[in-house]
Amino acid sequence: MRVLGIETSCDETAAAVVSDQGDVLSDLVHSQVPLHAPYGGVVPELASRDHLRNVRPVISAALEQAGMRLADVDGIAVTCRPGLSGALLVGVQAARGLSWASGKPIVGVDHLVGHLLAPFLRFPNKPETPRPTFPFVALLVSGGHTALYRVDGAELAQVRELGATRDDAAGEAFDKVAKLLGLGYPGGPVVDRLAHEGNAERIPFVQPMRRRSSLEFSFSGLKSDVARWVREHGRPGDDQTLRDVCAAFQRAVVDTLVRKSLHAARSEGVDQVVLAGGVAANRELRESAAAAGARVGVRVIAPSLRACTDNAAMIAYAGSVRLLRGEDDRGGIEVSPRTALRRLTRKGPGARA
């Protein structure tokens, strides 16, 4: 089965064609970063309008790159939650139009499920990354979300949230700290690069929610601590100080993410941790999680950098799981700013809701 995936939940207009085995036949992303950069964050109204301009050309280019016409695909998958409502509606309406015109089945996909299944993608001409087996624990760290999940299978109902952030998402913390330091938007990749040459020990920022037993996160205290440091010392002009601030901030975030992910794996009795979402592209997170996992017998699996950040290939693959089961949302797709993933609630020792 070959599926056309469409993604417009935030600031990327993306389309891809993927097989139900995870083979990526085409993968296009039109980024709106330059459009939003002057505002230091995504402006929803601008995002919707830009999706509207680009969604059809991006879909056509994805089909062309796969050497296919719409008639050749077996189904259409589109992100319908969570995200900016106006942005989501553009992708969903485009997908519904194509489904109506071609008579192909269509399914709505939860963007977060797409991220969690990204390690199953195989990109052409890229070294194959190891695939996880179910069950695994997943750390999803993006601009809008930070949470730990137990993943027992590829279906929505088989994914349960174990803990999440109480305030900012990890990517949001990277972006806000970068803004404080005058590093532009999005900040994650720049902080990652500068931190690599910094001394993480020089500035002792607060450690966010370090308590080992809790699987909740909080990054607003750390962000305020960096803001306090900048108020007291001024924006670092000296390059080495800037690198040291980035390194200290990043170390505090990464330490918490790694510690809690491994704690989640241990308490769930699983030996694999998947890193997902844009922040999973972070070099220190990938290296530190792999090293810490190896020490306790947990395999850490991080998708290729291409698969970590927003893309439509992961949406197409997650959609193929639903389409293979014969599901079809031609009757209607509910668009929502919130995820459909649910919290794990235990009813008794070891019981799952």
List contacts with ligand KG4 (CB under 6 A): 10, 142-144, 171, 174-175, 186-189, 192, 277-279, 281-282, 309-310
Reference 137, options 288, 300, 273, 298; nearest CA is 273
How many C-alpha atoms does 350 have within 13 Å on its Cβ side?
Answer: 1
| Residue 26 binding result from Zn ion, ligand KG4, none, given CB thresholds of 5 to 8 Å by partner type | none
In angstroms, what is the minimal distance from the CB of 277 to Zn ion? 6
d(CA 149, CA 160): 5
Least CB distance to ligand KG4 at residue 309 (A): 4
- 192 interacts with Zn ion by CB under 5 A: no
Instruction: State which residue, 7 or 225, has the beta carbon closest to ligand KG4.
Output: 7
C-alpha to C-alpha distance for 181 and 184, rounded to whole angstroms:
8
The interface partner of residue 281, options being Zn ion, ligand KG4, none and the CB cut-off 5 to 8 Å by kind, is ligand KG4
Q: Which token pair is 305?
A: 């950098």
36/104 with CB nearer ligand KG4: 36
Report in angstroms the alpha-carbon separations of 104 from 9, 166, 327. Answer: 22, 41, 12
Part in contact with Zn ion (CB under 5 A); list of ranges 142-150, 235-243, 284-292, 321-329: 142-150
Placement of tokens 């001409």 in the chain = 125
Asked whether position 244 contacts Zn ion by CB under 5 A, the answer is: no
Which of Zn ion, ligand KG4, none does residue 163 bind (CB under 5 to 8 Å by kind)? none
Q: Please tell me the distance from the alpha carbon of residue 34 to that of residue 248, in angstroms, as a whole number.
A: 28
Nearer Cβ to ligand KG4, position 144 or 198?
Answer: 144
Using the rule CB under 5 A, which residue among 26, 79, 142, 272 binds Zn ion? 142
* DSSP sequence for 219-254: -HHHHHHHHHHHHHH-S--SHHHHHHHHHHHHHHHH
Is 7 one of the binding residues for Zn ion (CB under 5 A)?
A: no
Verify binding: residue 310, Zn ion, rule CB under 5 A.
yes
Side-chain-side CA neighbours of residue 226 (13 Å):
30
Residues that bind Zn ion (CB under 5 A): 142, 310
